[in-house]
Structure 1
Amino acid sequence: MMDYDFDLFVIGAGSGGVRAGRLAAATGAKVAVAEEYRYGGTCVIRGCVPKKLMVYASEFSEMFEDAAGYGWTVGETSFDWATLIAAKDKELERLEKIYAKNLGGAGAQMFDTRATVTGPHSVKLASGEEFSAKTILIATGGRPFVPNIDGSEHVITSNDIFHLTSQPKRALVVGGGYIACEFAGILNGMGTQVTQFYRSEQILRGFDNEVRDHVANEMRAKGIDLRVNTDLAGAITKVGNELHLTDNNGDKYVFDTILYATGRVPNTDNLGLETAGVELGKKGEVIVDQYSRTNVDSIYAIGDVTDRVQLTPVAIREGVAFVETVFHDNPTSPDHELIPTAVFTQPEIGTVGMGEEEARSKEEIEVYSAAFRPMKHILAGKDEKMLMKLIVSKATRVVLGVHIVGHAAGEMIQLAGIAVKMGATKEQFDATVAVHPTAAEELVTMKSPTR
C-alpha cells in the first residue's frame, strides 16, 4: 500500500473547501489545503458577505425618508463610499483570519499558493513543490463571466465592484440574474443613477413569474431604469472618463461604470484536471456523481466548480457529505431538494420549492397569493407592496412552494423552509396561530385560493 504525503489535499479554501478540510483534519487525517488568493472564497471575500453589508448600507437612504412619517426629523444626510469600503475590508480581514485559524487549529497544513493536479494522486504547487495525496478535493469555485464584446476591457464584474475607490455616478448593470439585480439595488440606494439591461423579456429567470414581475415593478418604482429586451449593440468606447455605447434599439448612453453580471463559470482553467483524466462539462464544470466523486476514484469536487447549485450553504453541505463518505465510511449524498433561497434585491425575495409555472406543469394546484401594503410602510406614506404566495397540491394538500417579496423575506423563508421540507400541508399552515401584527401572518391566514 502506497504511503502518501497527505490523506487529503484540498484545492481551494472557500466555504466548502474549508469545511471539508477542517472536518477531515478533525478525524486525525493528514490534510493539506492550498489557496492562491484569500481564505473564505467567493462568499466571504467577494460575494455574499460584502454584498449584504453593501445592501444594508444602501437601505439607509429609504430609512431616512421613511423616518419623517414617524415623527423623526433627520438632518442633511450624505454617503461616503470610501468609509463603507474601509469598514467592509476590515470585517472581511477579521473573517478571513477566523477561517484560517479554524483550519490551522484543526491540524490542516496550509499552502498560500496555487496548486494544480498532476495525476490521480499528485498535486504541484506554484513554488514547484509536489505532493502525493490519497484523495484530492477540488473546491475552486467559480468566477464571473464576461462575454467577448468589443470594449470588454472597460467593464467591471461583481469581483471588482467591492474594490472601487469611488462611487459610480452613472452606472449600467448588464444582466438579469440575482447578482445583477442585487447590485442595481445597492448602487441605486446609494444614490448612483442606475440603468439595467436584460436581453430577455423579464429579469430573474427561473423564479416564479409573479415574483419576477413584482420585483421588476418595485425596482422601477425605486428609480432603476430597468430595460428588458435590451442589450448592447456594437462596441463600448471610452472617451476620457466616459463610456459610450448604443443598445439594440438604437438608443445611445454615457456611463462612468459598466458592471457585467451575466453569469458565472467554474474555475477549472489550467488546473490540470484533464491531465489527470477528470471529466469536465461544457462550461468547464467538474462532472461528479451523487457522492461528489469524479470519474477518477481518488478525485472529488464540491461547490460552484461542479455547477450544481451555486449557493454557499450548499457547498458546505457537500463538504460535510464528502467527509462522511470518505473519512467516516458513511456514504452520504448531499440533499439538493427544497433549498430555501434569499435574494437581496430591493425589495428582497425569499423562496423555497416550486414556482407556480413549474408546479402547474406537473400536477393540479391551488395558488394562494396576496399583495398588500405592509404596516411598516403606512405611516411612511409608501406605496410599496409586499407579496406572499403559496403553491399547494390539490391532490395531497402539501405546500409545494412558498414565495415572499418584501422586508425580511430572507429571514422568513428560512423558517418557512423547514415546514416545506417537512412536507407540511396547507391545513397545517392554517392551523398555526398567526403572529399579529406581522407581515408573515399572511402565510397562515390566506383562506381562499386566488386561482
Structure 2
Amino acid sequence: MAFDYDLFVIGGGSGGVRAGRLAAQGGAKVGVAEEHRFGGTCVIRGCVPKKLMVYASAFSEAFEDARGFGWSVGETSFDWPTFLQAKDREIARLESIYERNLSNAGATLHRCRATVAGPHEVALAEGGTVSARHILVATGGAPFVPDMPGRALGITSNEAFHLDRLPRKVLLVGGGYIACEFACIFHGLGVETTLVYRGDMFLKGFDNNLRAFVAESMAARGVDVRFGEDVVAIEETSDGLRAKLRSGGEASADVVFFGTGRRPNTAGLGLEDVGVALTPGGAVKVDDYSQSTVPSIYAVGDVTDRMALTPVAIREGAAFVETVFNGRPTKPDHACVATAVFTQPELGTVGLTEEQARAEGEVEIYRAIFRPMMATLSGRDEKVMMKLVVRPSDRRVLGVHIAGHAAGEMIQLAGVAVKMGATKEDFDRTVAVHPTAAEELVTMRDPVA
C-alpha cells in the first residue's frame, strides 16, 4: 500500500519536532500537524517563558544585595508590559526556529488540529484525510483544574504568561514545579503571594530535606506558604476574587492561579476509537519502545506520562526514529535524569532521594548547610544545602541534591558523575574549585547519617 507519508506527527512540541526532523533528514516523507504554535508547551507556555520570568523576578533581590557590595542603587521599578513584549519577541524567534528546522529537513507542516482516523489515517481540520505508515502522537499535556464552584474564574500557567497587568495579590493552588516556581516569580516581582497546598509538604517525590529547606526559605523570603490547605470555591467580589478554603477560612486575591498539575492531552484525538489503549489518567499506554497497542501508532513526551520533562521527550523522539526508521531498536533511558526546580532558592537533583535509597538498603548521608559567600556582604540571611546519598557496599553516589543559587547549573554536571557510577572517593579525589559553593560537593568528608 502506498502512503501519503512515512511518518505523520501529531503535535509540534519538543518530542514531535525532534522525531519529525530526524526522520525527514534520514529521507522519510514526514508530515507534522500543530494546532497552536510550533514549540509546544516548553517553548510557548512552559520552560522558556517561565525561566525568563524567573530571571526578571530575581532582580529585586539583586538590587538589594548590590548595596552590600558598594553600589548605590536608586529607586527601581518593574514594568510588566515591557517585559511581556520582550518575552513575546523571544518566544516568536524560537518558534520560527522550530518551524524552519522542520521545513529545512523536508517535513510538510500542517498548521491545524489533527486527529487519528484509523491505524494509518489522520484527519486534518483544514480538510481531508492523509495516510501514514507510522503515526506519532506527541500532543503533550494540558493544565488540570479541580472541579469546584467558580473554577472558571481562576487561571493556569497558560494564561499567566499573558496577563494584562501584574496582580497586586495572587493566590496559588498546588505543590508541584509550576505552583512553587510561580509563587517565587510573583513574589520576586513584588506581588503579595500566598501558596496553598493540600498536603503536608510540597514538591512530592523530591528529597525530604530539600523539600523542607525550600519551604523554609520561601517562607523566610515572604511567601505565605500554607500546608494542609486547599481552595474549594471561588467567587467574584467588587474588589477582585474571594477563595473559600477547606479550613473554613477565606482568602482574597486579584488572581487565583491553579498549579495543580497537567494531564495528558488525548481528549478528542480519536485514539480509543482505533484501539489505542489509554491509562486511567488518559495517557497513551506504550511499551519500552514508545509503541502503543496499535502497532503503527507510537507516542512520546508528556502524552505518555512517563517523565514529563522536555529533554526526556526529545530523547524519546530520537529513540523512536532510531527504532522505527534506522533499524536500531532503542529504548529511551529514564534512569538518573537530572532536573531542576526554579524556585528561589533553586533546587537541583539527580538520582535517588534518601527515602528511596533507604528503601533499597543501607545508605550513608553527607549533608552541608552553609551561608554562601555572596550573602556575607549582602547581609541576606540565605543558606545553601548540598547532600550526597551514598551506598556503603560499593561507595557509589546514588543521589545528589542541591538547594541554592545556580543549583540547576551544578546538577547538570553532577548528573554526569552519577550517571557514570561515580563513587564517594571519586568525588573526594576531585580537587575543589575555590571559592565556589559547588566545591562543597567534593569536600564533605564525614557522614551525618
Verify: 1:327 aligned to 2:325, yes or no. yes
Q: CA RMSD in A?
A: 0.6
> Whole-Å Cα distance in 2 between the matches of residues 205 and 338 of structure 1?
17
Q: What residue is the counterpart of 2:101 in the other structure?
A: 102
SS in 2 for 1:33: strand
Point out where structure 2 has 5 or more consecutive residues left out of the alignment.
Answer: none
Is residue 297 of structure 2 the alignment partner of residue 299 of structure 1? yes
Match of 1:78 in 2: 77
What is the match of residue 147 of structure 1? Answer: 146
Q: How does 1:330-349 map to 2 (within 5 A)?
A: 330-349=328-347
Partner of 1:318: 316
2:74 alignment partner, SS class: coil
Residue identity opposite 2:246 in structure 1: N
Pairwise mapping of residues 106-117 of structure 1 onto structure 2 (< 5 A)?
Answer: 106-117=105-116
Q: Which amino acid aligns with 1:385?
A: K
Within 5 A, what are the aligned runs for 1:3-18? 3-18=2-17
**Which residue is equivalent to 1:240?**
238
Task: Work out the CA distance in 2 between the residues paired with 1:183 and 1:232.
Answer: 17
Aligned-partner Cα distance in 2 for 1:246–1:146: 16
1:283-326 CA-partner distances (Å, limit 9, x unpaired): 11000000000011100000000000000000000000000001
Residue number in structure 1 paired with 2:307? 309
- Aligned partners of 1:424 and 1:363: how far apart in 2? 18
Residue 39 of structure 2: aligned partner: 40
Q: How far apart are 1:240 and its partner, in Å?
A: 2.7
User: Deviation at 1:252?
Assistant: 2.0
Q: Which residue of 2 aligns with 1:350?
A: 348
Partner AA of 1:150 in structure 2: P
The CA deviation at 1:376 is: 1.1
| Paired residues, number | 449
Matching residue of 1:368: 366
Q: Counterpart amino acid of 1:434?
A: A
Q: What letter matches 1:410 in structure 2?
A: G
Shift of 1:246: 2.5
Equivalence map 1:199-348=2 (5 Å): 199-233=198-232, 235-348=233-346
2:24 is matched with which residue? 25
Q: Which residue of 1 aligns with 2:378?
A: 380
Aligned residue identity for 2:97: I
Using the TM superposition, give the Cα deviation of residue 250 of structure 1 relative to its aligned residue in structure 2, in angstroms. 2.4
Could you tell me how far apart the structure 2 residues matched to 1:41 and 1:241 are? Answer: 35
Deviation at 1:178, TM superposition (A): 1.2
Q: Deviations over 1:93-128 (max 9, x none)?
A: 000000000000000000000000010000000122
C-alpha distance in 2 between matches for 1:247 and 1:239? 16
TM-score (norm 1): 0.99
Question: Cα deviation per residue 1:192-249 (whole Å; 9 max; x = unaligned)?
Answer: 000000000001111000000000000001110000001124x211013511123222
Supply the distance in 1 between the matched residues of 2:27 and 2:227 (Cα, whole angstroms). 54
Matches of 1:198 and 1:101 in 2, distance apart? Answer: 42
Distance 2:169 2:203 in 1: 23
1:400 Cα deviation from its structure 2 partner: 0.3
CA–CA distance in 1 between the matches of 2:246 and 2:136?
44
SS of the aligned residue for 1:371 comes to strand
Which residue of structure 1 aligns with residue 67 of structure 2?
A: 68
**Equivalent position SS for 1:63:** helix
Mapped pair 1:121 → 2:120: yes
Matches within 5 A, 1:392-407: 392-407=390-405
Supply the AA of the counterpart residue of 2:216.
N
Q: Which residue of 2 aligns with 1:428?
A: 426
Q: SS where residue 315 of structure 1 aligns? A: helix
Identify the residue that residue 54 of structure 1 maps to in structure 2: 53
Secondary structure at the aligned position of 1:361 is classed as helix
Corresponding residue for residue 178 of structure 2: 179
Aligned to 1:159: 158
Unmatched segments (≥5 aa) in structure 1:
none
After TM superposition, which residue ranges in structure 1, 4 or more long, deviate above 3 angstroms?
none
Q: Deviations over 1:44-70 (max 9, x none)?
A: 000000000000000000000000000
Distance 2:216 2:447 in 1: 24
1:394: how far off? Answer: 1.0
SS of aligned partner of 1:59: helix
Give the TM-score, by structure 2 length: 0.99
Give the distance between the partners of 1:43 and 1:248, measured in 2 at CA. 33
Partner residue of 2:167? 168
Q: Which residue of 2 aligns with 1:409?
A: 407
